[in-house]
Structure 1
Amino acid sequence: MADNILQVKTAFAQLLTNISAPRRRLLYQQIGRELARRQRRRIKAQQNPDGSAYEPRKQSKVRSKKPKNRVKDRMFNKITSPSHLKLKRNNNGLTLGFSGSDAPIANVHQYGLKSRVSDRLAFKVKYAQRELLGFTDEDIEMIEDYVIKALSDGLR
């Protein structure tokens, strides 16, 4: 993922200096909103940026007398809302990610790390890697299209 980000940054860094500051802020806002929308849609569809499906949750070994909770069948429902997946703009670009208590949870899933299942349990479990954030080929094309449009509008 870091290679994709570096590739996008280097490709457009020089071009973006030719765009006025107000137009660049608008460009960042447009790209950020569209990128956030695409990331949310992909996370809800439970797909990695390469198009592969997330590894399914492991079944709990604890028997429960309650009926199966359908809400937990879909992972990351809550975390995809705009209040959790934050878009931040600054002069140098934009940042899309998780903050607060969502960040450690997202980090564990993004990189497939070990974490405690709950505060009450002392043991740690290795989670499957599920890339929540990342660039797809379509995302890179969308960014290219926005930048090219901004450059062509700036030349008129």
Structure 2
Amino acid sequence: MQLSTLITPEAVRVFGTMSSKKRLFQELGEVAHAAYALPSGNAVDALQERESLGPTGVGQGVALPHARLSGIDRVRGAFIRLEKAIDFGAVDRQPVDLIFALFAPLDSGVDHLKALALVSRTLRDGTVCAKLRANTDPATLHAVLTEAAASQAA
């Protein structure tokens, strides 16, 4: 599995500020709709439902919200970089500014877990996160994400 198969350049965005986690999920739903024609309301509801089980902020300013949806054929990703970090209830209690969301089919099984592991490995790399935080161009952010994951896989 390659990160480049999970996320398209259209699914990468930069926002200055976000008022709340709920608003962030709404933006992720809109990104998923624009990039993959996923129903934004369903995406938002699924993200919020998963988040109610426990925060998906993994630490060091990174969050990996994820959800399973009907009507999707494969795992898809959306990435948002915030210029001003927000509280996300992360395990280290640090605010979050790098958010990579995954949307998977209801029956995706191991593919969902493989995608989550790939994204997690990529965003645990401090060099990758520094490059993501140093850029505001979505095309550059997409390149950083996909090149980092490709080099880790090699």
TM-based fold match above 0.5: no
Query: Normalising by structure 1, what TM-score?
Result: 0.27
Structure (1/2) with the larger strand percentage: 2
TM-score, normalised to structure 2, is 0.27
Larger radius of gyration: 1
